Amino acid sequence: MKNCSKCGNPQIIIKKKHSGQSLCRECFIESTREKVLKDIRKYKLIEKGDKVLMALSGGKDSVMALNILNSLCERNIIDLVAVTIDEGIKGYREDGIRIATENAEILGIEHKVVSFKQYFGRTLDEIMSESQKNAELRHACTYCGVFRRWILNRVALEEGATKIATGHNLDDETQSILMNYLEGNMHNLVRIGPKSESQDKRFTVKIKPLREIPEREVGLYAVAADLKVHLAGCPYAGDSFRREVGNFIKSLSLKHPTIMYSTLRGFERIKPLLKRELSSKVERGVCRRCGEPASGDLCKACTFIEKWDK
């Protein structure tokens, strides 16, 4: 059996297949934290004086990100506030909210819970049972994503936040790259990155501090660091295309442990070229209903809502 590559401790908790490194608990926690902080500097995700709004679901990814960002907060580099969005998913979201709240309390971070109900008058469960009645075939995640983005952007403005941090990990990111590529969705593809680059000042910049940490390592970090996290699957998560693509890369990774890193690196290299080719300066207007930025007359969230209210 191997010892820790850094300190020689025989009790290792991970053998990284992609780098050959073996690490003990302490060294794994330390090096993962360092890696995240290094990426924050490398991609200039955060500047001194930023007010960061953490999208905190209570899951392993956002709890880990919150804990690492908190170290920047303790050093007075940033201000940190957390927001948990209650989509209204019965039997699932309640635990997430409770755990998110506990984490914010432990760290002494200001925490808000906001809901779909409060902003849109309906829970995700209600949206889904309505849309089933009307035989609409959209996946729950489509509504969930659109409304969540809308709320995050709104809360960031309300809080005066300069950055929105999300818990996206390496698996999520390679999933998005592959998914958009496979769907031929090149305009969405070039938008993927550690930091959003919208020219529109009304969109708060979004950052992904865990973007280069594989999902399994996020899970290991949460257990190793004894974080309180909500480990459960969303009842709506079932067979979306995203899920299929995710399972596909995860299964490839078993035999090819560097595949997610190479997908990401390859993408980073072609992205500037694609961007030059595809860049279209779309004039963004304002949604006539809610005032959020929109490419048409209505933003995506309001398009759904207007249809329902008819």
* 181 forms part of the interface with ligand SF4 (CB under 6 A): no
Residue nearer to Zn ion on the CB measure, 203 or 267: 203
* 237 forms part of the interface with ligand SF4 (CB under 6 A): yes
Contact letters for ligand SF4, residues 76-95 (x by CB under 6 A): -----------x--------
Residues 6+ apart with CB under 8 A from 285: 293, 294, 295, 296, 297
* 238 forms part of the interface with ligand SF4 (CB under 6 A): no
Three-state DSSP at 153 gives helix
Residue 66: count of CB within 10 angstroms of its CB: 28
Tokens of 277: 């080719």
DSSP 195: B
Residues 6+ apart with CB under 8 A from 186: 180, 274, 278
- Choices 3-11, 66-74, 231-239, 300-308 (CB under 6 A): range interacting with ligand SF4: 231-239
Sole binder of ligand SF4 in the list 13, 234, 259, 274 (CB under 6 A): 234
DSSP 210: T
Q: Which of 220, 186, 202, 107 has its CA nearest to residue 153? A: 202
* 145 forms part of the interface with ligand SF4 (CB under 6 A): yes
Q: Which does 14 bind (CB under 5 to 8 A by kind): other proteins, ligand SF4, Zn ion, none?
A: other proteins
Q: Say which amino acid occupies 149.
A: R
Q: Which does 145 bind (CB under 5 to 8 A by kind): other proteins, Zn ion, ligand SF4, none?
A: ligand SF4
DSSP 276: H
Place of tokens 């959209």: 138
Min dist. Cβ of residue 101 to ligand SF4 (A): 18
- Choices 140-148, 157-165, 186-194, 289-297 (CB under 6 A): range interacting with ligand SF4: 140-148
Residue nearer to other proteins on the CB measure, 152 or 220: 220
Place of tokens 């992205």: 271
Residue nearer to other proteins on the CB measure, 219 or 293: 219
The residues that touch ligand SF4, with contacts defined as CB under 6 A, are 87, 140-141, 144-145, 234, 236-237
